[in-house]
Amino acid sequence: MNRWPWKEVFLARHGETVWNREKRRQGRLDSPLTEAGIENAEQVAELVAGMAPDRLYSSPLGRARATAEIVGRRLGIPATVVDDLAEIDHGEVGGLTNAEIEELFPGLAERRRADKYRFRFPGGESYADADVRARRSWGAVHGARPLIVTHEMVGRMLIRNLLGIEPAEALRWNHPHGTVLRFDMVTRRVVLVSSEGSREVFAYGATILSRASN
């Protein structure tokens, strides 16, 4: 039984950025879309054009808004910004590579691996903090087939709340740039749609995804 008000939900990640390419943690900081990132946004626009989304929502961060603007132009739908869709705040490690983090904060990566859901970045947030925001953000989403443009990490908490799965399972989800997660809210099946085709990644509690790295 569908306890949510939507028939379908579409979830897209922002296009690739300069810091994605440099493997720097962005969090609430920002860097511009690369040429490939603009192509990612155009790919998302092409993929969702035939899915008939009726509302468009975006994180307030620049990389998500730039992606949503490209998608919105194709769909003819303006993007509504929802602050709670912002990426997890990385605090003092924002803008750093993993090597730089280990140099400046020795042992941080090991402490995070011990409890990734509850670990809080120095001066920032944890997945558990983002979980609260993600749950709240769904209350701002309307329409029958909304499209949400956001980020991979907070996206895992959006997925957790949407599907009612445990944190450990949600943390396994990956969401590549230029793809769309299509949620059928009646059957609770999820399909990852890309330019190469579609594949089912969730059905009745069975997650079929590779382990996430961040």
Confidence at residue 188, expressed as pLDDT on a 0 to 100 scale: 87
Average pLDDT estimate for 104-119: 97
Supply the residues annotated as catalytic: 14, 87
Q: Is the pLDDT of residue 1 over 80?
A: no
pLDDT of residue 43: 98
Separation CA 169–CA 106 (nearest Å)? 28
Task: Give the pLDDT band of residue 112 (cuts 50, 70, 90).
Answer: very high
Q: Is the pLDDT of residue 210 over 50?
A: no
| Structure token pair of residue 153 | 């990490």
Please give the average per-residue pLDDT across 99-128, as a whole number.
97
Residue pLDDT, tens place only, 160-177: 999 999 999 999 999 999
Terminal-residue alpha carbon distance, the chain: 32
In this prediction, residues 89-116 reach a mean pLDDT of 97
Residues shown for the chain: 214
